[in-house]
Amino acid sequence: MSSSRPRRAFLVGSGRMIYFTKILGEQVLDSNGEPVGTVSDLAIDTREIFPRVTSIAFVGPDKRPFMLSWRKYVAEFSPKRITLNQPGNKLRFSYLQPAEVLLARDLLDHQIVDTQGRKVVRVNDVKLTESRRDLRVLGADVGFRGILRRLNLERPFDVTLSLVRYRIPENLIAWNYIDLLERDLSGVKLSVTHKRLHELHPADIADIIGQMDAAHRVRVFEHLDLLRAADTISESEPEVAAELVESLGNKRASDILEIMPPDDAADIVGGLPYEKAEVLLSLMGFKEAAEIRKLLGYKEHTAGGIMTTDFTALSENLTVEETIGRLRELAPEEETIYYIYVVDDEGHLKGVLSLRDLIVSTPDTHIHDTMLTDIITVNVDDDQEKVADVISKYDLIAAPVVEEAGKLVGIVTVDDVLEVMEQESAEDIAILTGSRWPLRFDTTFSWFVQRSGWLSVWLFAGVVAGTILFVYLPTLRSLAATILFIPLILRISDDVGNRSVAAIIQSLEGDSEEVRRGLLRRTGLDLLVSVGIGLLSGLLALVLLSIWRQPLETALSLGVSVAVTIVLVGSIGTVLPLVLERLDLDPTVATGPIVTTGMSALGLLIYLYLAAAVGARM
């Protein structure tokens, strides 16, 4: 054995940080200094908290892939090359073990689940560290920094941003918070601290699968037990929930729907195609199916539409002790137990008592004597906003829903009201601004279409107004060519201003690091869109003016003015929220009008100035 040689020279100066993308493509030399190939991947042992690199994969000159044990063969490791401790002909190749994954094949550029941050992210690099005898994974780099590094732009960016004293933070996810989406590690015993996706709170699982594509979702879903699957679907957005249920087998889907709260189940069944819905209902227990059918009969956005039929109703003749005994038998769900409703034989609501009243009353009291009879109820046809108002005003945890004759048919719980309020607030803002709320930075393409779609409408309106002017108002024809585009400019400036305000509002909310990254990404996209819209509008102006037989100089000068104005105004409006965020200004009630007025005035000034200046030159 050659154990006397300094086999691992690279361990001197241990603690060095190495990025995986820097190792990829490095040369591998044998102990004679002969090249045997270039590094194509690294295998890690997934069972450790900081997984050790177990083997090195490389491709030889004839493109053949090899794997070699790291511990056994690697003698020296430097940023430039890897030297082995054996001559090429003495190397014995190894194979990937079940507990191993490959960094390039399974991690790099793949989507993974960050179980701590509770989101789906893309791995841009893997950070490694030399630790005694081994090279170990510190974490997956999922930040902007990783992208810059691979574009060789890390240093230039750092230097530039250091001028404004900003440093792009590194965004690292430790291995024990990573769950792979495309490689199933469920057969491997991971370290106890290693969080798997299906061990999270159902609300978190719902959040995370909401960020995945359908194929990944179904795969994740297969690992969930029935109860967690039901809870996860309950917490998912309606579209995601419907899609998941449709993708599941009928048996499993109906089992899941059966144990879900009936209101959530009804929401999902209501969104399914008729045939599918009927099949699932027929597979369910009679009682559960009947409840869902009944709930489906109520109008959306009413108390009936958001209520659940899971409530605890008892007769008034029980004592407190008997009631507690009954509850122990029934073991109702968390949200549906906080009030106990007292009903007569026909189901008419007679009184209500809270679990608290039950606990603090002496055991032999009759609930008839402790119950509250001045009950706040909502009607089954009441609008959901009224229900929200009632629950919010009287600080209730649930409101009983009654039919005309006072019969108790369901309850609306406060968590449903929170959803209603989020929904209504988003709707209000959407109506006000004509854009989706919250601004989504992740679905770039659809957003681009939406935004340019809107601007086209405005473009069209401006052009129609201009055309009418041009055709029907001969006295103004001398001004018409210039005036024609003023409405367009003002409208686009106003839109840019509105988007700025929306971004400013959003920057006030939530986690600042995430918001900052969102803003940064949006800024880039908005700038691109502004340029696109500007060019489009300029071109349109040119074409229109030519059709109206204006001199080419006029057409050109106005077209250029329109394009440049829109690009400039767009850029200013886009950068504004960033600047305000930097300055840490608190927006006041007046922000909206001030920004939109300012942008309009600015847009007009730029346009007229350009029109005059360019016109004068030509």
Q: Report d(CA 261, CA 268) in Å as an integer.
A: 11
Nearer to a second copy, 68 or 480 (CB): 480
Q: Kindly write down the DSSP assignment for every residue of 428-477, as one continuous string.
A: HHHHHHSS-SSPPSS-HHHHHHHHHHHHHHHHHHHHHHHHHHHHH-GGGH
Q: Report d(CA 284, CA 230) in Å as an integer.
A: 14
Nearer to a second copy, 355 or 527 (CB): 355
CB of 3 to a second copy, least distance (A): 48
Q: Is the dihedral of CA 258, 262, 268, 273 positive or negative?
A: positive
Helix, strand or coil, per DSSP, at residue 306:
helix
Q: Kindly write down the DSSP assignment for every residue of 64-119, as one continuous string.
A: -EEEEEHHHHEEEE-SSEEEESS-GGG-------TTEEEIIIIITT-EEEETTTTE
Q: Report d(CA 332, CA 311) in Å as an integer.
A: 8
CB of 53 to a second copy, least distance (A): 33
Three-state secondary structure readout of 355-387: HHHHHHCCCCCEHHHHCECCCCCEECCCEHHHH
Q: Report d(CA 75, CA 104) in Å as an integer.
A: 22
Q: Report d(CA 276, CA 543) in Å as an integer.
A: 52
CB of 94 to a second copy, least distance (A): 40
Nearer to a second copy, 184 or 419 (CB): 419
Nearer to a second copy, 167 or 356 (CB): 356
Nearer to a second copy, 214 or 612 (CB): 612
Q: What are φ and ψ of residue 70, in 5° steps?
A: -65, -50
Nearer to a second copy, 34 or 369 (CB): 369
Peptide bond into 438 cis (omega under 30): yes
CB of 23 to a second copy, least distance (A): 38
Q: Report d(CA 18, CA 23) in Å as an integer.
A: 8
Which residues, 6 or more positions from 587, have their beta carbon under 8 angstroms from its beta carbon?
504, 505, 508, 580
CB of 590 to a second copy, least distance (A): 6
Nearer to a second copy, 468 or 520 (CB): 468
Nearer to a second copy, 34 or 333 (CB): 333
Q: Report d(CA 458, CA 304) in Å as an integer.
A: 40
CB of 523 to a second copy, least distance (A): 20
CB of 469 to a second copy, least distance (A): 6
Write the burial class of residue 13 (CB in 10 Å: 0-12 exposed, 13-18 middle, 19+ buried): exposed
CB of 435 to a second copy, least distance (A): 8
CB of 207 to a second copy, least distance (A): 8
Nearer to a second copy, 109 or 511 (CB): 511
The token duo for 234 is 């309950």
Write the burial class of residue 368 (CB in 10 Å: 0-12 exposed, 13-18 middle, 19+ buried): middle
CB of 48 to a second copy, least distance (A): 24
Residue with structure tokens 């990254």? Answer: 517
Nearer to a second copy, 24 or 355 (CB): 355
Q: Is the dihedral of CA 551, 554, 556, 562 positive or negative?
A: negative
CB of 224 to a second copy, least distance (A): 17
Q: Report d(CA 55, CA 66) in Å as an integer.
A: 10
Nearer to a second copy, 69 or 591 (CB): 591
CB of 120 to a second copy, least distance (A): 17
User: Rounded to an integer, what is the distance from CA 533 to the centroid of its chain?
Assistant: 27
Nearer to a second copy, 229 or 611 (CB): 611
